[in-house]
Amino acid sequence: MNYLLALDQGTSSSRSIVFDRDGHVVAMAQREFRQIYPQPGWVEHDPRDLWQTQLETAREALAKAGLSARDIRAVGITNQRETTVVWNRRTGEPVYNAIVWQDRRAEATCAALRDAGLTPMVQEKTGLRIDAYFSGTKLKWILDQVPGARAQAEAGELAFGTVDSWLIWQLTKGRTHVTDHSNAARTMLFNIHTQDWDTDLLRALDIPAAMMPRSLPSSAPFGEVDPAWLGAPLVIGGVAGDQQSALFGQACFSAGMAKNTYGTGCFMLMHTGERFQISQNGLITTAAAQPPGTPQYALEGSVFIGGAVVQWLRDGLRAIESSSEVQALAESVPDAGGVVLVPAFTGLGAPYWQPDCRGSIVGLTRGTTMAHIARAALESIAFQSASLLQAMSRDAVASGGVPVAELRVDGGACVNDLLMQFQADLLGIPVVRPAVIETTALGAAYLAGLHAGMYSGLEELSAQWKAERVFHPTLSRERATERMAQWEHAVRQTVAA
């Protein structure tokens, strides 16, 4: 039993990965599922699709590895965060589709909460901004809008959960209704100091406490997979929201360590240890994934459009036929020729928080080619991420810490060497790509392995982490500062437009 099974339930696909004890990928399976857009700004998933594709990939990954469930020491789960599911406790059926983290339908509720003066209380208790991104206002929408839902909830008949809770309910055949602190911290209903659901916040959103799952540390006994699903009972020993799981998989266990995930968007987290810190620079505070013990925190910033800018080049501008072509096109010119692309297609996230501005391209001349625009598109990912890291470093220094010394990277776009080198040049610190870039799933596997006794502790996991390549800065700090000033100027023009 020297293997771990990680279930990675994402926004566009469900994946399952079998890892060996050393953290190497043994086998992987992936299934995409349907995206539902009932009207502009609304994004939904069918919760049954999430469960079925996750179960299918778990079975397929085991088969590909040539293993049975009896060879697996424990199961870890990581998931798209904030996505909200409500189901009937007796039948296990959802009362409505899952409302996805990207969904903006609850903005009116958020505006009412802000107008009621609740922003300081929410930030102090949860570390979050009042925003439709988080689960609490999505849950309130379901209770208010689905016929009969509120009455059923008040009678104790309904259960709420983020996607991890929904999967665990299915895996255990309704025996366990739990979540972990890292997912609970994304609901806007969880006090990350006391590590429990907050009575004041539940009351403010009119949510019955009976709906809420029990919240545990990220490495803990979350229940047992029913043998009917995979052929043998399996302990679920690790659960974490995807970004906190990636921080753990990158072995960023101590204050000042940071990682950036380059996916559809970019998510940067910096561990702050036992220190709860409210950002003065546009970031949010969240619970870090951790074994039982003193609460651990992280600062987080989100870039809405990261790798998605490459999809736009492919599908919108038709500048490339496949995403893999973007590096060669960008490298066909020595620089972006003064072009700066601000990909605010859905507004700008942290540290700007400008939801209503839209994208722009500045610095165009008669000499501008598609190659320059492609290079500017790639550079926009690094510019946005550099702004996040600078904000984090300012927060760290203000609280008596030190600036981030290196950035560990993962996610699909981190394989782009041009992008990673430019990121190092802008930041002036090493950018480190690990040998295993499946760090989100790896984090969940490690958390499960810790609970199951496969690892002695965090020191052993730190020793297992290996770098595949280190990108050292080659640009002078003066030139890097000039480039960041160009970017900030372009952002100001975009926001003012």
Question: What is residue 497's predicted lDDT score, i.e. its pLDDT?
Answer: 65
Residue 400, pLDDT > 90, answer: no
Question: What is residue 43's predicted lDDT score, i.e. its pLDDT?
Answer: 86
Rounded CA separation 162/81 (Å): 7
The pLDDT of 168-185, averaged and rounded, is 97
Percentage of the residues of the chain whose pLDDT score is greater than 90: 70
Question: Model's pTM, two decimal places?
Answer: 0.89
From residue 233, alpha-carbon distances to 20, 75, 261, 270, 443 in Å are: 19, 10, 33, 36, 22
pLDDT tier for residue 402 given thresholds of 50, 70 and 90: confident
Rounded CA separation 190/181 (Å): 8
pLDDT digits 0-9 by tens, 188-232: 999 999 999 999 999 999 999 999 999 999 999 999 999 999 999
Question: What is residue 310's predicted lDDT score, i.e. its pLDDT?
Answer: 86
For tokens 């502009």, name the residue: 40
Short-list 288, 164, 242, CA closest to 439:
242
For residue 118, with 0-12 CB atoms within 10 Å meaning exposed, 13-18 middle and 19 or more buried, which class applies? middle
| Choice between 20 and 302, residue whose per-residue pLDDT is larger | 20
pLDDT tier for residue 104 given thresholds of 50, 70 and 90: confident
pLDDT digits 0-9 by tens, 285-317: 999 998 888 899 999 998 888 888 888 888 888
DSSP for 294-335 reads S--EEEEEEESSSTHHHHHHHHTS---SSGGGHHHHHHTSSS
Q: Are 220 and 59 in contact (CB under 8 A)?
A: no
Residue count (the chain):
497
Query: 402: number of CA atoms within 13 Å, CB side?
Result: 7
Question: What is residue 9's predicted lDDT score, i.e. its pLDDT?
Answer: 95
- For the ranges 230-234, 271-275, 396-400, 403-407, which has the lowest average pLDDT? 396-400
The pLDDT of 397-417, averaged and rounded, is 85
pLDDT digits 0-9 by tens, 471-491: 999 999 999 999 999 999 999
pLDDT digits 0-9 by tens, 341-370: 999 887 887 788 787 788 889 999 999 999
Residue 160, pLDDT > 80, answer: yes
Question: What is residue 367's predicted lDDT score, i.e. its pLDDT?
Answer: 92
For tokens 């806007």, name the residue: 188
The residues near 276 (Cβ < 8 Å, ≥ 6 apart) are 127, 192, 193, 285, 295, 297
Under DSSP, the state recorded for 188 is S
Rounded CA separation 256/298 (Å): 9
